[in-house]
Amino acid sequence: MSDETNRRIQVDLSGKRAMVTGASRGIGKSIAVTLGAAGATVVCIARNQEKLQETADIITQQGGTAEVYPCDVVDTDAVQNLFDKFIEKWERLDILVNNAGITRDTLLPRMSDEEWDDVLSTNLRSVFLFSRAASQVMMRARTGRIINISSVSGRMGNPGQANYSASKAGIIGFTQTVARELASRKVTVNAICPGFVATEMTDAMGPAVLDEVKKRVPAKRLGTCEEISDAVLYLASDSALYITGQVLTLDGGLTA
């Protein structure tokens, strides 16, 4: 971790308000901590309040400011209520990171309606709900960053992940469309496509499968959560003012 910390790009987000969905673990947790370390006030969103609090505690221990908002990210009323409370307290939203996501992997002939609907709802509907609410706030302020976490599975497909790949491909199309809609109001919308990243999700694949994965990746290793967080940090910075509608792939050359 020390090597990653030393390598991290330097961005000052002091005074900015950020919201991160799926902030209770993995990439989302890393993004929230990174934005907090850069000076942003971070609202951490997921269903699991206990794990969200762990993320918030890390941010505050590092001298940052964080709040926990447990929320069902696919519930329209819950999301709107969350935004109402957030704006009442903080008045504006500068950065939204849509990271919440799940997998329900199985081959298409065995995939149930529930496995399809759960993944599309959590991974894609949540992006729509949060982006719609955020866009209204950001357009009035004439500034904002929406950063959507997609996946290489949305670019190249992956056997056993028809639902996941469809949801992540949908995020890419959504990102490019909304970027065109909001650009005139100085709101940027971009997507990041991580490849195989070392998280609890990939750990569950087991050593043998991970060894095969690394053989497929030209860089011969998994990515780190911090590398994804650095990309988010850059897109959230003033250096990325003219970048919108783009899909940034971080996969060690897998889709090159």
- Residues identified as active-site: 164
What distance in Å separates the CA atoms of residue 144 and residue 244, rounded to the nearest whole number?
A: 11
Contacts of 59 (CB under 8 A, 6+ apart): 32, 33, 36, 37, 42, 44, 65, 66
Half-sphere exposure of 47 (CA within 13 A, CB side): 9
What distance in Å separates the CA atoms of residue 187 and residue 180, rounded to the nearest whole number?
A: 10
| Edge-to-edge strand list for the sheet holding 95-98 | 65-70, 41-46, 17-21, 95-98, 144-149, 187-194, 247-250
Helix 225-236 vs helix 26-37: angle between axes, to the nearest 10 degrees? Answer: 50
- The residues that bridge with 96 in the sheet, in sequence order, are 19, 146
Query: Which of left, alpha, beta for 245 (phi over 0: left; psi -120 to 50: alpha)?
Result: left
- Residue 157 CA: distances (Å) to CA of 165, 169, 236, 255: 6, 9, 28, 11
21 and 100 Cβ atoms separated by less than 8 Å: yes
